[in-house]
Each structure stands twice: as structure tokens, then as C-alpha cells.
Structure 1
């Protein structure tokens, strides 16, 4: 018995030491992260081009609910104005373990409390490129008084970089890649990640490490990509305006910034050990693409731009808002919802709001 107590004491001391090291190295206290592993094979339905896949209408599981029109979100309520938000996997809500904390529910709560009679709808579908997104948006039942919030697509940027000179605008992710989104973390990895000692040991041993990074090929067609992204945005804006909806642009808010300072290294490495593979030239291209096509489309039309990044990046708990470099934690979804609400108010977009 005494040996068991001694072993427990030694493990406790080792855990305390590991947590001190984590705080010193990353500038953050250790916290076990709850990663939601989604059964994508159950709710992603293959279909023909140009969409290639879609969300299964009416699908329900403990972590994911798809409404009857085929969006992750609530059932549309007749007679209500809607705020449609369209982005990528971070707005779809990938990796969130508890759907009760997802951003659109948190934003809906804030709108209801403010007396703003809008229903929040999530038009984001995981893995879609710009063309797929445009096709999906142009099939939405937009109506007069609705608000369409668009975040320029960046899946095309990644596909274009890894394809190089062979890139063809509109090329989607292969279904094989999409199917790999569904992966199961071994039980021992989940067990190790519940303690700081186990987490540090797993990283040192390389257990559960991500697969190979994306590798850029020569011949990246930057100008062609910008024109293609601009065309897709223009198409969605024109469609929404033809239906009487108001269009608003949304910024890109990953865990890293356009010029992440040296002080961010600890936080980024805590989120993702291979963060350097994505932050640098690659990430600079992402920000540049979003800013340029947003300016090109929004500028001439004087479209509002929701700037959520300063609210999230300037927060003292910034690195607690993410599960990895892109996807939000439960706390991050709440912070994103607050930032969206604040920006909607700031831009006087919430008609009928209580004083």
C-alpha cells in the first residue's frame, strides 16, 4: 500500500512540474481539450458536380444536427428575417464537442435578448471551395430583409498552392480527402491528453501527430486565384441583392495573425505542434487574398465589413478560444458570437432592435 501511495505522490509531483513547464513554455496554463470527432461519413452525402457532396437533411447525432433544408443549424421559422453566415469549417463548427456552445446558438441568444427579430442560419459547409459555396448560396431562400454574411473562401487557396501550375479553378477537394476528416483518436491518446504530463510525453514521443503537411508545388497562380475568388464573391453578392437581401463581408480570424509576433510562439505551439508549417508565407497569402477580394467586391458597393479579428486577437484569453490553428473551442464560439453581435450593432445592421 505504501508503494502505491508513493507512486501516486510521485505522479502528482510530476504533473505539477509538467504544468509549471507548460506555463513557462507556452505562457498558458494546461487545460485538457475536448475535441469533437464527427461521423462525417454519416452526414456528408456524395452527389454530382458542382457540389460533389452535401449535408444530409434531417441528420441528428449527439454532436451534429442538420436541419431539413440541409444546413447545420435550426429549422427555418416562417415569417422571420434571417442572418445567413457563410464560411468554412470553423463556421461550420468542426471539432466542437458540445453543439450547445456553437456560435449561431450563442448569437441567436444575444439577438433575442436585444429584441432583434432575426433568425441566425449557418450556411457553412465543411470542405467547400469557392465555386461549391457560390452554388450553395445561390440556392438559399434569401428574401427581402435578410442579411447575408460572407467570408471569402480559402480552400481554393490551399488547393491552388498544392496543385501549382496544374491548378484548375473550381477543383474541389477529392472525396478521399473529405472522408479522411472522419478519424478516431486512439483511446490511449485521449487518456494521455487528460493530464499535462501525458500530453507532454505524447508530444515528445510523436504519438498522435498529424499527417504530412501540405506541400506547395511550383507555378502557384496567385493572380488567377484572386480573379476566380472575386468572381465567386461577385456572383453571391449579385444573387443576394437580386433577392432583396443585404450583403455583409466577414474577416478571417484564425489563431494566428498576419504578423504573429515572437510572443505568439508559445500559444500557437500549445494549440498545434506543427504550427510553423502553416504560419509564414502560406498564412500571409491567406490574409492577402481575403483582404484584396473583400476590398475589390465590398469597396465599390460600400458593403459593411464585420471586423471580428481585433476583438478576438486582442482578448487576454485569445489562445483559449481555439482547439487548433483554425477551429474554435466552446469558449471561442461564445467569443465569436459576441464579436459578431457587436459588429452587427456597430454597423447598424439590426433593424427593429430594442433601445
Structure 2
């Protein structure tokens, strides 16, 4: 009798979870046209490639839409000069409203000043290090870009002591796992982010960080070799861009915290550290300062345009949705700075005759492996 009682309640729980899972799938289908049976998360926008990861041409998840080249955003329009934005999730866009990520706003600002002149092609991939030159070179070949905006993510270099430029790369295994196959997980995660304050999750994050550091002692500061790796990768990017007759524009990295962490923001800093547990909290802003000095130095050495976003964008929740990702207001501030830099940066001579039209590449070139 006791076993029957337990089995009956297990059956009720399974039925309830199955009903919620079905409701989540129907909700995605009605709101977004999502497939009922296949995985439907942000990870479905990407696939493995010889350069690491690339976007899936035509893929869609919620507000995120990949074009025919596998880059976020609309198709490039023929007869316009292409601007490429290269970076990680801050450039790809996470929390902004649809079409309010900074590359789209840059394009809108440029359109206001010089109508029908520019496309902005957002080649960003979450988690990418700018030293993945093969991925960048393929994008430059596809788009024949005239300007390339480079927004490095210093934290992605934590744990790195050698440049990524010209290192052999291989496909990153698909990140689609069990959590991507159960829609209910995604719905609960979205709900938790909206209603649970960061301070409430701090004890859980602390445990996760300690668990990740079982076999290593966290360090208070990244070594100078890490900054040297970033410097060499930046130099490699500049060379690759200039070899293709395009103009590089470097951007310093802005964060929610600015120059210091206020006591009330310590929970948010811990949330950032959860992704990079090997570095103690005090090392993050130190890394930011040193990395931004490297970006400024590389721009000065090459005589490049520099957008000092770290100095220009105010700290706090008005401009940042979390530790590094923008709100609509933050993306608009970033876009204004970058659009001004593009308009001021002299364009190099056009691509020699015989080169394929950059916009037609979006429709006629089947994307090969990237990143």
C-alpha cells in the first residue's frame, strides 16, 4: 500500500512536469514560431566549425535572428559600405530590446547622417576571443568591410598566457545539452533572473566557485603574460584588417562597476566571477584597467581611432543590465561613440575591381566554417 501511494504521487509529479513542459513548448510555438520537438534556446543559433563556433545561417531564437551569412542582424544591402563589429556577447547583444543592440543602433545613427551609405554587420560570437583570426578573416572576405570595430572582452583572457592569433583551432563541441532540450528549464531560468535579487543567489554562487577551485588556488591578479597575449592578438587583428584595406577602430571595455566596486555591487561582482572562478574578485577591475591600457597603447602605436567606452559610458544599472552587458540606454551610448568614430575615420580606397559585391556575398556565398 505504501509503495502504491508513493508511485501514485510520483505519477502525479511526472504528469504535472510533462504538462508544464508541453505548455512551455506551445508558448514558444505561438509566440515565436519555435519548433515543438527540437531544442529551442540561444545555443541553437550556433554550430561547431573548424574555427571554433559559427552562427547557423537563418537560425532564430526569440529576438535573435541570424542572416544568410550566419551573423546576427539583417542582410547587408547592395551598394553600401560595410562596417563589421567584432567582439563577444557584449557586441552580439543579450538584454537589449529587439534591434537595440549597439551594432544595430550604430547603423541607425549612420543612416541618419549619411542615408543609404552603410551596412553594419555584427559578426560577434558569445565567448569569442579576438585572437580567433581565421574567423575574422573569413568575415572580412565575405563582407569586404571598410571599417572594423573591435570590442575585446578582457575577462575572456583569464587563464590565458599565450596569444590565440595563428594558433591551430578546432571545432568546439555543440553546447546543446539536456537543459536545452527541456524547455521548462529555460522558462524557470528566465523567471529566476527577473525576480530573484543577486544577493539571494550569492551563497549558491560562492559554493559553485569553491567547487570549481577544488584543484586550483584562485589568484588575485592575472599575470602580465595574459595582457601580453591580449596585446599580440590585438596587433594581429589590426594587421589582418589593414591588409584588407579596411580601417580598424579599437574600443576600450566598459563595465557596470566603473573604477571601483561599491559595497552594494559586491553580489554582482560575485555573479561575474562565477564564470571565471580562477580569479579573485579584486582581480577583475585590475584586469579591466590593465587591459584597457593595452587597448589604448595598441591604438596609439598604430595611429588608430580609439573609442574610450570605459571612460565615456557611466557606471550603474541605467547603462548595464549586468556586469558587462548593456541596457538599451547603454547600447545607445556605445553606438553614439562608435558612429562618431566611423564618420571621422578616413575610408581607405575601395576594393579593387573584380571583387565580389559585399552584399551579394550574403545571398550567393554559402557560409563555410568559421570562428
Q: What TM-score, normalized to structure 1? A: 0.67
User: How far apart are residue 169 of structure 1 and its match?
Assistant: 5.0
Equivalent residue for 1:250? 251
Closer/same/farther in 2, CA of residues 253 and 180 from structure 1, 3 Å limit:
farther
Equivalent residue for 1:31? none
RMSD of aligned alpha carbons: 3.8
Equivalent residue for 1:135? 134
Closer/same/farther in 2, CA of residues 193 and 128 from structure 1, 3 Å limit:
closer
* Secondary structure class of the residue paired with 1:319: coil
State whether structure 2 residue 231 is matched by structure 1 residue 237: no
- One of 28, 39, 42 as aligned partner of 1:40: 42
Aligned partners of 1:81 and 1:145 also within 8 Å: yes
Aligned partners of 1:40 and 1:181 also within 8 Å: no
1:100-111 correspondence to structure 2 within 5 Å: 100-111=99-110
Structure 2: gaps spanning 5 or more residues: 1-39, 275-279, 348-371
CA distance in 2, matches of 1:298, 1:206: 38
Aligned partners of 1:152 and 1:294 also within 8 Å: no
Structure 1: gaps spanning 5 or more residues: 1-37, 161-166
* Secondary structure class of the residue paired with 1:57: coil
- One of 281, 284, 287 as aligned partner of 1:285: 287
Equivalent residue for 2:119? 119
Closer/same/farther in 2, CA of residues 152 and 217 from structure 1, 3 Å limit:
farther
Q: Deviations over 1:222-260 (max 9, x none)?
A: 333333322222222112112211111111011112x31
Closer/same/farther in 2, CA of residues 191 and 241 from structure 1, 3 Å limit:
closer
Q: Deviations over 1:150-193 (max 9, x none)?
A: 12342542233xxxxxx665499995795579777675676677
CA distance in 1, matches of 2:87, 2:178: 17
Q: Is 206-215 or 321-330 further displaced after alignment?
A: 206-215
User: How far apart are residue 79 of structure 1 and its match?
Assistant: 2.3
Aligned partners of 1:298 and 1:304 also within 8 Å: yes
Greater RCO structure (CA 8 Å; 6+ sep): 2
Aligned length: 290
CA distance in 2, matches of 1:260, 1:221: 18
Equivalent residue for 2:82? 82
Closer/same/farther in 2, CA of residues 324 and 145 from structure 1, 3 Å limit:
closer
Aligned partners of 1:150 and 1:250 also within 8 Å: yes
Closer/same/farther in 2, CA of residues 191 and 154 from structure 1, 3 Å limit:
closer
Equivalent residue for 2:12? none
Aligned partners of 1:226 and 1:293 also within 8 Å: no
User: How far apart are residue 284 of structure 1 and its match?
Assistant: 0.8
User: How far apart are residue 211 of structure 1 and its match?
Assistant: 7.4
Closer/same/farther in 2, CA of residues 144 and 123 from structure 1, 3 Å limit:
closer
Closer/same/farther in 2, CA of residues 68 and 283 from structure 1, 3 Å limit:
same
Q: Deviations over 1:73-104 (max 9, x none)?
A: 221222211221111111111244x3232222
Aligned partners of 1:72 and 1:92 also within 8 Å: yes
User: How far apart are residue 283 of structure 1 and its match?
Assistant: 2.5
Closer/same/farther in 2, CA of residues 324 and 41 from structure 1, 3 Å limit:
same
Closer/same/farther in 2, CA of residues 176 and 254 from structure 1, 3 Å limit:
farther
Equivalent residue for 1:152? 152
* Secondary structure class of the residue paired with 1:212: helix
Aligned partners of 1:130 and 1:156 also within 8 Å: no
Equivalent residue for 2:317? 319
